[in-house]
Amino acid sequence: MMAMNIERFVSEGKGNGLRALREIKAGEVIHSCEPYAFCIAKDFLKTACHSCLKRDESLSRCSQCKTARYCSVQCQKQAWPDHKRECKCLKRLQPRIPTDSVRLLTRIIFKLLGQSESDQEDLYSIAEHQSHLADMSEEKKEGLGHLCTTLQLYLGEENHDLSQLPPGLDPVSLLARVTCNCFSISDGELQDVGVGLYPSMSLLNHDCQPNCVMIFEGKRLTLRAVRLIRPCEEVHFFLIELLKESQALLHRYADVVPDRNIYVLRLLDLAMDACISLGDYETALEYGHRALEPYKLYYSDPHPSRAVELLRVGKLQHYLSRLEEAQGTFTQAYDIMKVTHGTDHALTNEVRRKLSECQAELGQV
């Protein structure tokens, strides 16, 4: 268990971190845990079990909300404690579905309201997560405000319970904590089928020479060593170095090499992918915006590559609740894809669905 393998400590120059309490061999499981709360990603609501995340095209759906789907009666029973209050919220907004972040936050709120001392994470609690609200731009704070408006509509009569949340954990603060610390839950094909909060795993820092990897089995996160880890050695995983190198090169040549340079464009895509993987969606969107003009230059309309890039940027705008921007971006992507992919292609259907979601959410706020 966690208490036997790793402990929390202050990592020099990095803040909180995790380190080994004993020697851990390559291939050994360091820690394995279920999420404090999770939800299925919007794109997989109809094809992934809302309990075990198993993929299937013929799942049984909840008779009340018509949204949650399950691969078996057992999964539906196991999911009921987390779905019970959520079910009323989903039913209230039919056929509209809130964003992943709003649905995850709602599950966290319900969990906090019914939480006992035994439910507390032993290394890191939600209250200890940093919200970074003071460092956020006004634009991002405004986005959080829009999401909170959607949250209030989603909660409906449950709104009065928010006053019972633990001190300091108001909806805006919680939303900021969630967006900074949640993990994308990927399946065996590395598709992001859900999003979850694993409080203690938020202590993990990144390094260019990682000693562990994260693997998901359903919604269970398993941290596994990829090389020998010595006692008192920090446990960390890879990705930040790719982002650092990409950002360093982009900054170094910003004044002499334009974004339309093919190599700079590749760096922008790399940096965008790294930021998405690290959950830094705001920065990812900045790189995505910079890449759009070069894509338009190299891939004259209608071209499928530009449509896919527009879809990626639109998803980020939608996630960050920049609904009007997302609506415009999805419209551009759809106008291209209906020509290059046809109106029945899966990607075209995805863009059309995203566009409808934006229009519905704009009607709410």
DSSP for 314-359, written as a single string: HHHHHHTT-HHHHHHHHHHHHHHHHHHT-TTSHHHHHHHHHHHHHH
Q: Which secondary-structure segment (H or E) carries 214?
A: strand 212-217
DSSP string covering 179-193:
HHH-EEEE-TT--EE
Phi and psi, residue 156, nearest 5°? 55, -120
| Cis-peptide, bond into residue 302, ω within 30° of zero | yes
Single-letter amino acid, residue 53: L
Rounded CA-CA distance 128/107 in Å is 18
Q: What is the pLDDT of residues 84-109, one digit of tens each?
A: 999 999 998 888 899 899 999 999 99
Distance of CA 268 to the CA centre of its chain: 20
- The structure tokens listed for 210 are 């990682």
Q: How sure is the predictor about 1, in pLDDT bands with cuts at 50, 70 and 90?
A: very low
16: three-class secondary structure by DSSP: strand
Mean pLDDT of the chain: 87
- The structure tokens listed for 19 are 């380190």
Report CA torsion sign: 47, 49, 53, 54.
Answer: negative
Residue 21 has pLDDT above 90, yes or no: yes
Of 60-74, 148-162, 202-216, 344-358, the range with the highest mean pLDDT is: 60-74
Residue 238 has pLDDT above 80, yes or no: no
Phi and psi, residue 204, nearest 5°? -65, 135
Rounded CA-CA distance 281/269 in Å is 13
Residue 291 has pLDDT above 80, yes or no: yes
CA atoms within 13 A on the CB side of 81: 8
Q: What is the pLDDT of residues 107-130, one digit of tens each?
A: 999 999 987 655 555 678 888 888
With DSSP H G I counted as helix, E B as strand and the rest as coil, what are the percentages for the chain, rounded to 5? 55, 15, 30
Rounded CA-CA distance 333/349 in Å is 11
Single-letter amino acid, residue 211: N
Rounded CA-CA distance 297/199 in Å is 43
| E strand residue ranges, the chain | 6-11, 15-20, 29-33, 37-40, 60-61, 69-70, 183-186, 192-197, 205-206, 212-217, 220-225, 236-237
Question: The tokens 């890039």 sit on which residue?
Answer: 309
Residue 240 has pLDDT above 80, yes or no: no
> How much is the average pLDDT of 241-247?
69
Phi and psi, residue 278, nearest 5°? -90, 0
Please say whether the beta carbons of 362 and 327 come within 8 A: yes
Residue 226 gets which letter from DSSP?
A: S
Predicted confidence at residue 107, as pLDDT, reads 96
Q: Among 57-71, 227-241, 294-308, which stretch is predicted with the lowest mean pLDDT?
A: 227-241
Residue 66 has pLDDT above 90, yes or no: yes
Q: How sure is the predictor about 59, in pLDDT bands with cuts at 50, 70 and 90?
A: very high
Q: How sure is the predictor about 299, in pLDDT bands with cuts at 50, 70 and 90?
A: confident
Rounded CA-CA distance 92/109 in Å is 18
In sequence order, the β-bridge partners of residue 215 are 222
Task: Please report, rounded to a whole number, the percentage of residues in the chain having pLDDT higher than 90.
Answer: 43
